[in-house]
Structure 1
Amino acid sequence: MPKRLLVLLTLSALLPAGPAAAEVRTFGLGGDEAALAARPQAEWVRHARSLEKRRDWAGLLAWGKDWARGDPDNALAWFVQGRALAEQGRFPEAIEAYRQNLRLAPGDVFALNNLGNAYRDNGDSRAAMLAYRAAAERAPDYVAAWHNLGLTFYLTKGEAGVARALDRLRATDPQLAAVWHALALEYAITRDERVARDAVRVLRGLSRAQRKRMFGILFDAG
């Protein structure tokens, strides 16, 4: 699956920029756990962004590991590792890093989205779609998850599978078919924000039972 077709949440999109600052010194702490724990959050964040911008994935991974050593309960430290590991093609390790992120912050839809990407790139399309689904369920207006879910569904099931799912949705509830088509198919292709906004408005009007029924039909579609 072409990676460029799917949305990867970057640190630049997730982490606050903070005030302008001189380049962070990254060496000299060694194994000093106390020094790692004392390092301010803003410093960890700024340098993580800098390493990502330079595409220094080995450096970003080392930085994320040090961050987790100093603050193992910080979900962002694990997100950083997942980001670096995925870029290095180490998808099973990226999956575990994002899963640790989610153990610490179960509602983190950004980690769920990137977990889906790691599953997808590791060849597990169903696990990827389940992760995207969880992100979309937690944050219905998080269109990146819908985009990724729709494209993965299409590339996994093909046009025939998409048509069968839409037929079943229309037969059950035309609103469900309209939402799925707009958010996960039309928006995924056009990236037209108006399409996404209109679909999200309809989605918010659906009951939890309706949304559950929609996902049930989609995940049962052959």
Structure 2
Amino acid sequence: MPRRAILLLSLSCLALAGPVAAAETFGLGGDQASLAARPQGEWVRQARALERRADWLGLLAWGQDWARVDAKNPLAWFVQGRALGEQGRYDEAIAAYRRNLRLAPGDVQARNNLGNAWRDSGRPREAMHAYRAAVEIDPDYIQAWRNLGLTFYLMKGEAGVAQALQKLQAIDPQLADVWRALAVQYSVTGDERVAREAIRVWRGLSKARQARLFDVIFDKS
């Protein structure tokens, strides 16, 4: 199974089932040889199962075992970041996602989750930088756009959102329309059709025009 299978973990969908004892269910731990003998597919399948059960302690132990035998696998660190974030251990989650991203810089889901950890630890500006990096790599990753808009609102409030839109309107009305759709309409309604149309327009803009939008929302203009 390819490393990109991490996207199949469906991390945006949280299971409602209660936790189970992962050590009993999956046999966590063991000697180095038995751990190393596990195929990639088994590591991924068990991580999914633990996540579905919301067994964050079990998922963390599973990710730690995975990293013991394959420290260069970004999925092992992603799993730990996911589990740590759900336990409110944000600094450790941030460290795990950073390790993930050193190994797989293009992993937009890890960048989005890193942003969540920054945001939930009370550092929204760092969170916005993580979301920005995700959408610059993959503009179609709409969850990061939504998080970027919501975090911008968290920092600036309604007045700040209105001020940014006014500034964009004066600089480039099309940018104002895109940001309004992504940061206001989509963030509030969750209507993916709104986001998809805005992203279609966004993809047609030059890199320089795209950069102007980020300059405004990051107070660089």
TM-score norm. by structure 1 comes to 0.87
Structure 1 unaligned regions, length at least 5 = 1-8, 15-22
Q: State yes or no: 1:12 paired with 2:13.
A: no
Q: Distance in 1 between matches of 2:93 and 2:220?
A: 29
Q: State yes or no: 1:128 paired with 2:122.
A: no
Q: State yes or no: 1:70 paired with 2:69.
A: yes
User: Partner of 2:79 in structure 1?
Assistant: 80
Change in Cα spacing, 1:190 to 1:25, as seen in structure 2 (3 Å) is: closer
Shift of 1:126: 0.2
Q: Distance in 2 between matches of 1:218 and 1:29?
A: 46
CA contact (8 A) 1:164 1:221 kept: no
Q: How does 1:15-94 map to 2 (within 5 A)?
A: 26-27=26-27, 29-30=29-30, 32-94=31-93
SS in 1 for 2:36: helix
User: Partner of 2:160 in structure 1?
Assistant: 161
User: Partner of 2:17 in structure 1?
Assistant: none
Q: Distance in 2 between matches of 1:138 and 1:172?
A: 24
Q: Taking CA–CA contacts closer than 8 Å with sequence separation of 6 or more, which of the two structures ends up with the larger relative contact order?
A: 1
TM-score norm. by structure 2 comes to 0.87
User: Partner of 1:106 in structure 2?
Assistant: 105
SS in 1 for 2:166: helix
User: Partner of 1:198 in structure 2?
Assistant: 197
Q: In the comparison of the two structures, how many residue pairs are matched?
A: 205
Q: Distance in 1 between matches of 2:175 and 2:122?
A: 28
SS in 1 for 2:140: coil
Q: Distance in 2 between matches of 1:11 and 1:141?
A: 18
Shift of 1:27: 2.3
Q: Give CA deviations for 1:64-102 in whole Å, capped at 9, x if unaligned.
A: 000011111111111100000011110000000000000
Structure 2 letter corresponding to 1:36 = L
Q: Distance in 2 between matches of 1:106 and 1:12?
A: 20
Shift of 1:33: 2.1
Q: Distance in 2 between matches of 1:10 and 1:84?
A: 16
User: Partner of 1:4 in structure 2?
Assistant: none
Change in Cα spacing, 1:115 to 1:34, as seen in structure 2 (3 Å) is: same
User: Partner of 1:17 in structure 2?
Assistant: none
* RMSD across aligned positions (CA): 2.0
Shift of 1:196: 1.0
Q: Distance in 2 between matches of 1:217 and 1:12?
A: 33
CA contact (8 A) 2:28 2:61 kept: no
Structure 2 letter corresponding to 1:12 = S
Q: Distance in 2 between matches of 1:195 and 1:61?
A: 36
Change in Cα spacing, 1:28 to 1:187, as seen in structure 2 (3 Å) is: closer
Q: Distance in 2 between matches of 1:166 and 1:97?
A: 35
